[in-house]
Amino acid sequence: MKKSIPDINQKIKNGEATILTAEEVTRLVMDGEEPTVEDVDVVTTGTCGIMSGTAAIFHLPVAEPGSFKKSRKITLNGVPGFPGPCPNEWLGSVDLMVYGTSHSITDPQYGGGFLFKDLLRGEEIEIDVEDIDGNILKSSATLDDFGTAQMIGTRFAFKNYTAFINPTSQPVSSIFNAVDMDGPFKGISFSGCGELNPLQNDPQLNSIQKGTRLLINNSEGLFIGPGTRSSPEKPNMMITADMKDMDPHYLGGFRTGAGPEVYNSVATAIPILDDEILRKTFIKNEDIRLPVADIRGRHSVLSQTTYQVWRNVDERPTYEKELCQNCQTCMVEERCPTRAFQNQTLNPVRCFGCGMCAYSCPFGTFQMERGQVQIDWEGKVKELEVSCRQSDIKRARELARELKNRIERGEFLLNNNL
């Protein structure tokens, strides 16, 4: 049996479509069931993690029209933007691009990802413009004041990731760990949402084509094309969406050993037109290869593991305040990459489930099952505890479920050009 996109859309409109998340499909298969194209109409996928290829295009009024000719420099909450390409001569406004990975010039712990979250939360941000004559203009704005706020993901939702270890005794600074990574073999960091990840379920991007609708941080966006450095073996996506429709829960800043980064969440809908498309969504964590590399050189793969790192683990830590020893310097507060733990208070909304608190607190105040990985090292098996997860399975599950719910309610029809 084969189905078409109009067939599936009609079923959605009639309230008769069966929508499952990629994890629900995999669970059915692991339980011994054999779903077919007749049983499933759409499979939703999701991922959340550090996505460095994040840029925002803004148009922003900063002064009265006629007050300056053209901007030369601009910062938003200290985060530098790139004025242009449109010069907006004498309009009192600035077209600019801000990278999610840009670092504040005033606070080394703050960057583009934190700025985007603050904007989406409705916070007022400080704007500093230097015009081409060297005049400084100061103003403030909220996202409502922005004429345009469009996100471009230049390389999102990669299919293939690498996990990292440090085999040396020297700490190594890298964007691939929340802090300088201790060694030798003091843990392992990884990214990716395994069997839920969009491109693990559609590795050739068969169902995702130019113009395909998807969710970016809960805003309905579009797939533009393959992202930078995308290849058939290692695909990723270039996508765009209106930031004004985004939910701040799904994006934000994430501090790393090499400065602040940005995380985002993406969900896609795979139309199940035939059994072959459905079978690709049967993929399970245990089948997905996770290469392990030396954090000092991301291309020297030392070993292999799989995304079993997501089996039987906790999504979030538990915090037992009574165990806290009130250390002079709290390692957790210093290291928590999303600033979820401050003043001995855990903010569950900001938590990313990275595990750095459970790894770092010497008194067991934070508990979190993070899983272990076995690697071969010079002929010996080493067992390493996961020290830092740079993907958040909880947010990925929430967005995949949100897309499923929207389709079930008839609010999201498929436009995949198949």
* Smallest distance, ligand SF4 to C-beta of residue 191, A: 14
Cα 218 to Cα 84: distance, rounded to the nearest angstrom: 28
* Smallest distance, ligand SF4 to C-beta of residue 399, A: 18
Identify which of 178, 181, 358, 190 has the alpha carbon closest to the alpha carbon of residue 255: 178
Q: Are 253 and 111 in contact (CB under 8 A)?
A: yes
* Smallest distance, ligand SF4 to C-beta of residue 335, A: 6
Q: Are 164 and 181 in contact (CB under 8 A)?
A: yes
Counting contacts by CB under 6 A, is residue 340 touching ligand SF4? Answer: yes
Backbone angles phi, psi at 360, to 5 degrees: -100, -30
- Applying CB under 6 A, the site for ligand SF4 has a residue count of 24
Distances in Å between the alpha carbon of 367 and those of 318, 322, 327, 358, 418? Answer: 5, 13, 18, 5, 47
Name the segment binding ligand SF4 (CB under 6 A); options: 8-16, 243-251, 288-296, 340-348.
Answer: 340-348
* Smallest distance, ligand SF4 to C-beta of residue 356, A: 4
Counting contacts by CB under 6 A, is residue 331 touching ligand SF4? Answer: yes
Q: Which is nearer to ligand SF4, 204 or 345 (CB)?
A: 345
Counting contacts by CB under 6 A, is residue 224 touching ligand SF4? Answer: no
* Smallest distance, ligand SF4 to C-beta of residue 387, A: 11
Biggest alpha carbon–alpha carbon distance for the chain: 71
Find the binding residues for ligand SF4 in span 359-398 (CB under 6 A): 361, 363, 365
Cα 156 to Cα 51: distance, rounded to the nearest angstrom: 6
Q: Which is nearer to ligand SF4, 96 or 357 (CB)?
A: 357
| Cis-peptide into 85, omega within 30 deg | yes
Q: Are 36 and 275 in contact (CB under 8 A)?
A: yes
Cα 240 to Cα 217: distance, rounded to the nearest angstrom: 11
Q: List Cβ neighbours of 34 (8 Å cut-off, separation of 6 or more).
A: none
Q: List Cβ neighbours of 353 (8 Å cut-off, separation of 6 or more).
A: 314, 315, 316, 317, 368, 389, 392, 393, 394
Counting contacts by CB under 6 A, is residue 265 touching ligand SF4? Answer: no
Q: Are 250 and 395 in contact (CB under 8 A)?
A: yes
Q: Which is nearer to ligand SF4, 280 or 395 (CB)?
A: 395
Cα 249 to Cα 251: distance, rounded to the nearest angstrom: 6
Counting contacts by CB under 6 A, is residue 50 touching ligand SF4? Answer: no
Cα 283 to Cα 7: distance, rounded to the nearest angstrom: 25
* Smallest distance, ligand SF4 to C-beta of residue 286, A: 24
Find the binding residues for ligand SF4 in span 309-328 (CB under 6 A): 317, 324-327
* H/E run at residue 35: none
* Smallest distance, ligand SF4 to C-beta of residue 333, A: 6
| Candidate residues 355, 370, 373, 406; the one interacting with ligand SF4 per rule CB under 6 A | 355
Counting contacts by CB under 6 A, is residue 271 touching ligand SF4? Answer: no
**What is the contact mask toward ligand SF4 in residues 273 to 312, using x (rule: CB under 6 A)?**
----------------------------------------
Name the segment binding ligand SF4 (CB under 6 A); options: 108-116, 223-231, 336-344, 397-405.
Answer: 336-344
Binding site for ligand SF4 (CB under 6 A): 317, 324-327, 330-332, 336-338, 340-341, 346, 351-357, 361, 363, 365
